[in-house]
Chains A and B, each alone.
Chain A
Amino acid sequence: MALPTYEEVIAKWDPVLGLEVHVELNTQSKMFCSCATEFGAAPNTQTCPVCLALPGALPVVNEKAIESTILIGLALNCKIAPYSRFARKNYFYPDMPKNFQISQYDEPICFDGYVDVEIETEEGAKQFRIEIERVHMEEDTGKSLHVGGATGRIHGADYSLLDYNRAGIPLVEIVTKIVPGTGKYAPEVAKAYVAELRDILRGLKVSDVKMEQGSLRCDANVSLKPIGSDVLGTRSETKNVNSLRSVERAIRGEMIRHAELLNDGKKVKQETRHFQEDTGLTRSGRSKEQAEDYRYFPDPDLVPVTPAASWIEELRASLPERPSLRRKRLKEEWNVPDKEMAAMINADVLDIVEATVLMGADPTKARTWWLGEISRIANEKELPIAELAITPAHVAELVELVAKGELTDKLARQVVEGVVAGEGTPSEVVAKRGIKVVNDDGALMAAIEKVCAEQAETAEKVRGGHLPAAGALIGAVMKETKGQADAARVRELLLGHLGH
């Protein structure tokens, strides 16, 4: 039987979401020891007796990680617990040195919050409130690389390599309550939620929030229930969702997979699934039919976390502007149409455009450059826009050069190409490449006279009052001056020359 289409799925089924996001904090040192946390160091070079779980070693909490977590909780409208504890989650796995993970269980540091997200629909903007169950701290595990075997998993591998550099990096887990009522928008709401979280975290400067490097990881829980039913269906939990686009695809894919099973009268298995970036489908992972018993208990090596109320208020006062409010403000300040605003958010250029505007560029011009030519180059090179060699300062300079008439839009595009190629600032590129607007009227007049002589018939038409014909002549003059002329000045001189 063929897979149901998405339209068929939503006609019959109502999705319920649950999202767990893991955020690696960007603290200088690990959660419970003073090892460095830098990404990409040689394996096992950032380890010590504590994060290797040598006999006798003890954990001590990183105060900065607590501060970051409280900031996250406050930004997500959570309550902050005056007393919370770390708990041990016990299970054996080679990449977890202690064979327990220090986490928080029934006493999370932040709880009961919410995030509002907005998505664009054919009926206009729609808002959804995502309720936050809890925000808690834990430590990351090491990384295993299973060599040999068919699946790349521990079972069947010839041998495994372990890197404990990541073991003990502070993680914050943000868990939503179940999210009902998103209907056909479920995939987009989930994506918008993760994007909003990412923006909030970035604004707080507590994490690199790089999904592709794993510093922001999303586990998406989905279940379906018949429309109108109150009974929740069985959920699957999809891991390995490494981009915003994947969040949307994974949920859409799971909705279709669940619907196919349910339509056939089969049951959805409660299990962990892994998202496959290439196919957009999920693959069955560990079965959760038999719930694992983690034997949580308060970690006796650590003392309770008891942040002072005055400290919490200090942190609250230090919170940056909420991303949704900021977007609203920028939209008004810059006077941007809805569609353009959405395009900027989608292309993830809001920060970079704002930085450009703050350097003096006209908002519309700044937006046009980043969203147009520069985005096009980024797409062509398949690079995130932020990784191109061009900066907000460059674009602000470029806008200024155009405004002063030192560059035409066309020439400015050549300059952008040079800046991206690493040739220096716009002024440096202009100098090196010898790019300049020809505004020497004498040179322009010579070209005009030459063109009018070559195309005498057309020139006569213009002289006789048929102005649209001037376009061909202007084009020819521009060609003659290798595009370095200011087209407006050419038009002015040409028409003067032909008696207008």
Chain B
Amino acid sequence: MINKTAAQMAEALAKGETTSVELTQAHLDRIAAVDGQVKAFLHVDTEGALAQAKDVDARRAKGENLSPIAGIPLALKDVLVQKGVPTTAGSKILQGWHPPYDSTVVSKLKSAGVVIMGKTNMDEFAMGSSTENSGYGPTFNPWDLTRTPGGSSGGSAAAVSSFQAPLAIGSDTGGSIRQPAALTGIVGVRPTYGAVSRFGLIAYSSSLDQAGPFGRTVLDTALLHEVMAGHDPKDATSINAPVPAVVAAAKSGDVKGMKIGVIKQLQGEGYQKGVQTRFDESLQVLASLGAEIVEVDCPSFEYALAAYYLIAPSECSSNLARFDAMRYGLRTGDVDGASAEAVMSATRDAGFGREVKRRIILGTYALSSGYYDAYYGSAQKIRTLIIQDYAKAFAQADVLVSPTAPTTAYKIGEKVDDPMAMYLGDVATIPVNLAGICGMSLPAGLADEDNLPVGFQIMAPAMQDQRLYQAGAALEAALLSKWGAPILSKAPELKGAK
């Protein structure tokens, strides 16, 4: 049962062929069997998950009207607060914190009857692209346990790709859903900024952060997308508009007559050969399905990475100021006579990891008086230029496409001492975040040189998320018939698996 898609599981539940308790237990067993190697979860809430499953089964038995994914288990990135369940955002500074409230996303999952099995590993405060920056050790890529699953939502992506959960939630500030989806051979969507409430999402960079769904198919991802999105009065930046009809789009999956724009700047030099090959093939598949392929020019994308690494650290330097040992989380150095300032300083020194400190310092500098205009101010101008580039490109095409990441999964430890090399892995995903639009990554096959998954990225204008699913589902179906089996069936068996 765990190898099925979420849509198939939902159907089995609806037909009474299985129960949510059975389904949840099967996944908990899988976690117990393989997560010692993958390390996708920071916390497994066995009791809570089974209680939720039992509750959903009871509601179903009473004939209540349930959401399409009621009873399906899910893995939640540890960046979203869940009442009473340890939430750390991958940081030692929040070790032992039990939130007294639910994030809006969690509230929506609960009321939809989705079973939250546990919290997944991530780069500390979502800062990173490999999950190696977690305060609790790295997550390993199920395709090759010596490699990273990408990040920052590496735990969620690894959980779904290793069949520990059919669905998962991540967050995407610069590519943190799409890039790990690409590196683990699954589907991940970063919805339009403001489409999913940020209330209860521990902030890294408020103007870029957005939670989104992971699934093994485009339809599964759409089913979760529809449940988690929607206006929230508790988030001032939440968009007050109906959720785009993403499930219907995923079911229709048609690109006939669709104009697909290939971004000139996001291919070629710097992209691994096998990545480029699979990307080009996918374009041919789309063309064969009746799509019109055009090339678009986005010259400002050259500056996107630089702008991102000014805006995100600036916002994080302020967002992370609240972790001061006064009200929750870690407190160190509180010995006789220590001043409040000394305790704050000792706690932040002990609780934050190197990458977090690096970005706080970078952001503090960028916002400083005398430097603000040159750094933060200029970055905002680049942001405007990128928005204008997208506007022009979307005048020529319905969706835009690129490889999701320039390379396939790299070795653990390969880039930890070279932040610039690590940052370059986000070059294709970051423009979406800066413009506040939506993007999807879906599997395009395996690279010839290393047999590792390659991601194909689709981008659509704000609140046109359904276009991602419409194009994605068409490509997915065509590739599936070409391959004969889902890509994950080609992943090696994990030790301990049945």
Contacts and interface: CB of A to CB of B under 8 A. Distances in A.
Given A90-B321, A90-B367, A54 B234 contact: no
Nearest to B203: A56
A1 to B, nearest CB: 38
A439 interface: no
Contact of A297 (B81, B234, B314, B339): B314
B327 A60 contact: no
Nearest to A34: B234
Contacts of B423: none
A293 B199 contact: no
B368 A295 contact: yes
Interface string B234-256: 11110000000000000000000
Contacts of A49: 100-101
A483 to B, nearest CB: 66
Contacts of A301: 203, 206, 236-237
B369 interface: yes
Given A56-B103, A56-B199, A98 B233 contact: no
B322 interface: yes
Given A92-B344, A94-B340, A295-B368, A55 B97 contact: yes
B94 interface: yes
Nearest to A156: B339
B316 to A, nearest CB: 11
Contacts of A90: 317-318, 321, 367
Contact of A300 (B315, B323, B328): B315
Contacts of A88: 318
Contact of A53 (B81, B99, B103, B322): B322
Contacts of B340: 94, 154, 160
Interface in B83-99: 87, 89, 94, 97, 99
Contacts of A296: 367
A145 to B, nearest CB: 13
Contacts of A309: none
A59 interface: yes
Contacts of B327: 52-54, 97
Given A60-B233, A155-B339, A55 B322 contact: yes
Interface in A35-75: 49, 52-61
Residue in A92, A100, A154 with the greatest tally of chain B CB atoms within 10 Å? A92
A59 B233 CA distance: 10
B372 interface: yes
Contact of B236 (A61, A94, A98, A295): A61
Nearest to A162: B326
B324 interface: yes
A302 interface: yes
A60 B232 CA distance: 11
B201 interface: yes
A349 to B, nearest CB: 45
Interface string A288-305: 000001011100111100
Contact residues on B (Cβ < 8 Å of other chain), bracket: 35 or more
B97 to A, nearest CB: 7
B321 A92 contact: yes
A99 interface: yes
B236 A59 contact: yes
Given A88-B318, A99-B322, A56 B368 contact: no
B338 to A, nearest CB: 11
Contacts of A98: 321-322
A290 to B, nearest CB: 12
B203 A293 contact: no
A98 B207 CA distance: 17
B202 interface: yes
A60 B235 contact: yes
Interface string B186-229: 00000000000011111101110000000000000000000000
B367 A297 contact: yes
B269 interface: no
Interface string B146-174: 00000000000000000000000000000
Interface string A187-226: 0000000000000000000000000000000000000000
Contacts of B368: 293, 295
Contacts of B236: 58-61, 301-303
Nearest to B80: A56
A54 B315 CA distance: 17
Nearest to A32: B236
Contacts of A55: 81, 87, 89, 94, 97, 99, 202-203, 322-323, 328
B324 A99 contact: yes
A257 B191 CA distance: 62
A201 B320 CA distance: 37
A94 B323 CA distance: 11
A126 B444 CA distance: 82
A300 B234 CA distance: 14
A297 B316 CA distance: 12
A12 B206 CA distance: 55
B405 to A, nearest CB: 26
Contacts of B309: none
A295 B372 CA distance: 8
Interface in A75-91: 88, 90
A92 B323 CA distance: 11
A101 B234 CA distance: 19
B98 to A, nearest CB: 11
Interface string A135-156: 0000000000000000000110
B364 interface: yes
Contacts of A61: 236
Nearest to A52: B327
Residue in A52, A94, A154, A295 with the greatest tally of chain B CB atoms within 10 Å? A295
Contacts of B367: 90, 295-297
Given A55-B81, A60-B234, A162-B326, A297 B376 contact: yes
A55 B91 CA distance: 12
A49 B104 CA distance: 13
A295 B344 contact: no
Contacts of B200: 56-57
A409 B226 CA distance: 80
B341 interface: yes
A293 B369 contact: yes
Contact of A56 (B99, B339, B364): B99
Nearest to A50: B234
A47 to B, nearest CB: 10
A56 B329 CA distance: 14
A97 B203 CA distance: 15
A59 B198 CA distance: 11
Nearest to A146: B340
A277 B311 CA distance: 47
A390 B87 CA distance: 58
Nearest to A86: B236
Contacts of B341: 92
Contacts of A100: 318, 321
Contacts of A155: 339
B326 A94 contact: yes
B210 to A, nearest CB: 13
A54 B101 contact: yes
A54 B237 CA distance: 19
A297 B318 CA distance: 10
Nearest to B315: A300
28 contacts: A54-B99, A54-B100, A54-B327, A54-B328, A55-B87, A55-B99, A55-B203, A56-B81, A56-B201, A57-B101, A58-B198, A58-B199, A58-B236, A60-B235, A60-B236, A90-B317, A90-B321, A92-B324, A92-B344, A94-B326, A293-B369, A295-B318, A295-B364, A296-B367, A297-B318, A300-B205, A300-B237, A303-B237
Interface of B: 80-81, 87, 89, 94, 97, 99-101, 103, 198-203, 205-207, 233-237, 314-315, 317-318, 321-324, 326-328, 339-341, 344, 364, 367-369, 372, 376
Minimum-distance CB pairs A-B, first 9: A99-B321, A300-B206, A295-B367, A300-B207, A56-B200, A55-B202, A53-B322, A56-B81, A56-B202
Given A55-B89, A90-B318, 19 more contacts: A53-B327, A54-B100, A54-B327, A55-B81, A55-B94, A55-B97, A57-B101, A58-B198, A58-B199, A59-B236, A60-B233, A90-B321, A94-B326, A97-B327, A293-B368, A300-B206, A300-B207, A300-B315, A303-B237
